Amino acid sequence: MTESTIYNLQSAIPNALFHADNLPTIQRYVGDDSVDLVYLDPPFNSNANYDLLNKREDGARAKRAFADTWRWDERAVADYALAMQAGGAVARYMQGFCTMLGEGGMLAYLAMLAPRLVELQRVMKPSGSLYLHCDPTASHYLKLLLDATFGAARFQNELIWHYQTGGATRRRFSRKHDVIFFYTKSEQWKFYSERIAVPRSEGARLRAQRPTGARIAADDATKNPTDVLHIQQMNPMAHERSGYPTQKPEKLLEVLIEASSDEGDTILDPCCGSGTTLAVAQRLGRRWLGIDASAQAIALTQGRLAGADYKMIEENVVLAGTNLLLPSSMLWRC
């Protein structure tokens, strides 16, 4: 498979999965204005290492999925230089972060994301949307970086994904939410509230039947969801659970994909992890592009898309004989 063959994919993007660093992959193989929806769930700068949660029955040690630790090193310096090359607001904001934060882990994390956000903005169609999934560790800085990349006017929502999980503390309020920033490339974007409408409460429907003061029709049984998404995290026995430590529930991705894309649209997940975005996109009739630098993530994703038992996935990255993926030569390593 030659490089020129890869480039030809830009005009009509098929389903493709890349085991690679997402920055050079997007730069080289994803064309301008070619992606309808980006879901970006990067590391959160949690200063932790993450292992696959399910161990093999033979007692083998759990495998490292990825490390979410950042320091100011040669790679961070290179990422910062790329962000400065972008110029404009991105460069100015990164200079401000450098002055405010100094050369440390948080600046390295932001420097990693900045050039990637610039590339994602480039490949999005004018009608495209981006959802960036994070948590309060860096969300305040990431919103500024998104404003610099897309423009503050392109900010649409700060979504709160609220969930119930085990674990609590008596030292502060229990932390039970993630943040998802919703930005668009232009003033015209896709959003289908009717597809993700939620049921109205019984009280609201009863009030609508009263002839005085009713603000909705008596037969209007649904409403537009708020910016707080009450979607439960997967339980330990959920069929979709793959053992990937930061896996998100399919229901969450269903809401985002249904709201902001049509059948046949192209969905890009630059940090695809265990492949939740790709699996949901496939099921909903969308095309997809997935990228991850973790061999474990790629193996889980391929098995998931092939309908395999997650716990039986082996280390090999290439699965032959599935029509959901490109040939093994297209599983590109940069």
Q: pTM for the full model?
A: 0.83
Tokens found for residue 147: 């404003």
Residue 41 near residue 22, CB atoms below 8 Å = no
pLDDT for position 55: 40
Q: Say if residues 272 and 279 touch (Cβ distance below 8 Å).
A: no
Pick the residue with more confidence: 58 or 300?
300
| The pLDDT of residue 325 is above 50 | no
Least confident span in 173-187, 204-218, 287-301: 204-218
* Distances, alpha carbon 266 to alpha carbons 14, 15, 36, 69, 181, in Å: 8, 9, 5, 31, 20
Backbone angles phi, psi at 268, to 5 degrees: -115, 125
| pLDDT confidence bin for 312, thresholds 50/70/90 | very low
Residue 60 — very low, low, confident or very high, per pLDDT cuts 50/70/90? very low
Average pLDDT, stretch 86-92? 96
CA proximity to 134, closest of 161, 164, 157: 161
Q: Name the residue with higher pLDDT: 174 or 154.
A: 154
- Per the model's pLDDT, the better-predicted residue between 223 and 132 turns out to be 132
- Decide: helix, strand or coil at residue 223: strand
- Coil/strand/helix, residue 308: coil
> For residue 243, what pLDDT is reported?
67
Q: State the burial class of residue 85 (Cβ atoms within 10 Å of its Cβ: 0-12, 13-18, 19+).
A: exposed
Instruction: Tell me: pLDDT of 294 over 90.
Output: no
Query: pLDDT higher for 164 or 236?
Result: 164
**Could you give the domains of the chain?**
3-8+15-190+226-330 (3.40.50.150)
Please answer whether residues 179 and 193 qualify as being in contact, where contact means their C-beta atoms are separated by less than 8 angstroms: no
φ, ψ of residue 40 to 5 degrees: the values are: -115, 115
**Residue 64: predicted pLDDT:** 56
Average pLDDT on 273-297 reads: 91
Q: Which of 43, 68, 40 is nearest to 146 (CA)?
A: 40
Q: Which residue has the higher pLDDT, 169 or 106?
A: 106
If phi over 0 gives left and psi between -120 and 50 gives alpha, with beta otherwise, what is residue 22? alpha
Token pair of 199, please? 């049921």
The one-letter amino acid code at 111 reads: A
Write down the pLDDT at residue 289. 93
Residue 128 contacts residue 189 (beta carbons within 8 Å)? yes
Give the pLDDT confidence score for residue 235 in this predicted structure: 77
Q: Average pLDDT for residues 271-296, to the nearest whole number?
A: 92
Three-class DSSP labels, 179-229: EEEEEECCCCCCCCHHHHCEECCHHHHHHHCCCCCCCCCCCCCEECCCCEE
- Render pLDDT for 2-49 as a digit per residue (tens, 0 to 9): 343 343 444 445 688 898 899 999 999 899 999 999 999 998 665 555
* Average of per-residue pLDDT across 239-243: 74
* Contact between residue 19 and residue 299 where contact means Cβ atoms under 8 Å apart: no
Top-confidence residue, 315 or 80? 80
The pLDDT tens digits for 121-156 are 999 999 999 999 998 999 999 999 999 999 999 999
